[in-house]
Amino acid sequence: MTKLNDNYTQLKDSYVFRQVNEKAAAFASEHPDLPIIKMGVGNTTRPLAPTVLDALHGAVDKLSDEATYTGYGDELGEAYLREALSGYYKNEYGVELTADEFVLSDGAKSDTANIAGLFAAGSTVAVQDPVYPVYVESNTVLGNRIVYLPCTEENNFVPTPPSEPVDIIYLCSPNNPTGTVATHEQLQALVDYALENGAVIIFDAAYSAFIRDDSLPRSIFEIDGAKQCAIEVGSFSKWAGFCGVRLAWTAISEELRVDGVSLLERWRRRQLVMFNGPSNISQAGGLAVLSEAGQRECAEIIDYYRANASIIRESLQAVGLTVYGGENSPYIWLKTPNNKPSWEFFDELLENTQVVTTPGVGFGSEGEGFIRVSAFASAETTKTAMQRIANQSS
């Protein structure tokens, strides 16, 4: 008689972004005359870079010719792209990792979720609160215990090391949802904790391309000792508009050992057993992102979103609201006026301005009283949304 994985019953309601979409869809069907502006899900909207488009077409063309057609590739991702990432880490971050220390996948969501399976069920996992729900839900399903590290205005939304022993620490910087970026010193304290306590850090760097302040670390491996305790997950989604194209990587140093076992080897094994590599078309696009022209063109698109983020910050501040993030990040963390509950303010904004945001409480209890505003809409749409909010507030 089949028995189910009971941990699924521990999951809360449905995924916050889905709830947001359902509320927005319900509003739209009730008010077909009121055009909605989506600033909820962190979904890219700009066309891909020309260099990347050429590469994607080129990859499709290759599949049209017997001489260049390829089927299954390397389950760990093509060597050419892992080599290119290795070069990128060296040039951009001064970090030495070999091509074999990168494993490619279809997305950072998949990786941050699946990698938890390398650890013993029942592990204690620290996450930031508020938190990207994937870390919590994937670990809940595995039967792990979640410990929340409060991220509040008081600590500028970057946690101090856990006060109790934990096995795994998820960190996301630039942070989703708060838009804040951890400094070298803050990350060093967390790396030092991990080294002293034998914990492993899973560092989600999906938004690193938004960091333009040279004093801020873009890779966990810029921190002393991180190679011995940290795993980094990176993504082409926000960097190059690949949210739909699907391509990401996980970087693990051969130096990272748990009980003498290489976590890199374990992760490679996991992917050999349960994955078959990302799409060959997507990987060709990824290589183009890493070219000189691709990096330049993608940086221009990031600049566009960064300009939106500035507009959002300034517009919201101009109407007297308190905001965080949005400087080296596409997310603005808005404190609701008069400590209104997140969903109440979400509903008000939807009702009065038709601007869809994401309720902070959907990311954890410390997110109550905040909403997340995304800078991924078009510049025009962003301005329209901010104008609506300004009109509503005046």
Residue 101 lies near its own copies (rule: CB under 8 A): no
Closest CA to 168 of 128, 195, 117, 202: 202
The greatest distance separating any two alpha carbons of the chain, rounded to the nearest whole angstrom, comes to: 66
What is d(CA 389, CA 315) in angstroms, rounded to the nearest whole number?
9
Select the residue interacting with its own copies from 89, 102, 119, 249 (CB under 8 A). Answer: 119
Residue 163 lies near its own copies (rule: CB under 8 A): no
Residue 208 lies near its own copies (rule: CB under 8 A): no
Nearer to its own copies, 180 or 271 (CB): 271
What is d(CA 286, CA 78) in angstroms, rounded to the nearest whole number?
11
Select the residue interacting with its own copies from 106, 204, 297, 327 (CB under 8 A). Answer: 106
Residue 165 lies near its own copies (rule: CB under 8 A): yes
| Residue ranges in 348-387 that form contacts with its own copies under rule CB under 8 A | 376, 378
Residue 57 lies near its own copies (rule: CB under 8 A): yes
Q: Which stretch binds its own copies (CB under 8 A): 116-124, 156-164, 356-364, 365-373?
A: 116-124
Tokens 């799409």 belong to which residue? 279
**Distance of closest approach, residue 246 Cβ to its own copies, in angstroms:** 4
Select the residue interacting with its own copies from 273, 292, 338, 394 (CB under 8 A). Answer: 273
Residue 129 lies near its own copies (rule: CB under 8 A): no
Nearer to its own copies, 12 or 184 (CB): 12
What is d(CA 283, CA 279) in angstroms, rounded to the nearest whole number?
6
In terms of Cβ atoms closer than 10 Å to its own Cβ (0-12, 13-18, 19+), residue 296 is exposed
Alpha carbon 298 to its chain centroid, in Å, reads: 17
Letters for 61-100 (x = contact with its own copies by CB under 8 A, - = none) are --xxxx--xxxxx---------------------------
Nearer to its own copies, 41 or 319 (CB): 41
Select the residue interacting with its own copies from 40, 159, 177, 277 (CB under 8 A). Answer: 277
Nearer to its own copies, 3 or 394 (CB): 3
Contact 341, 361 (CB under 8 A): yes
Partners of 359 in the beta sheet? 371
152-172 burial: b if 16+ Cβ within 10 Å, else e = eeeeebbbebbeeebbbbbbb
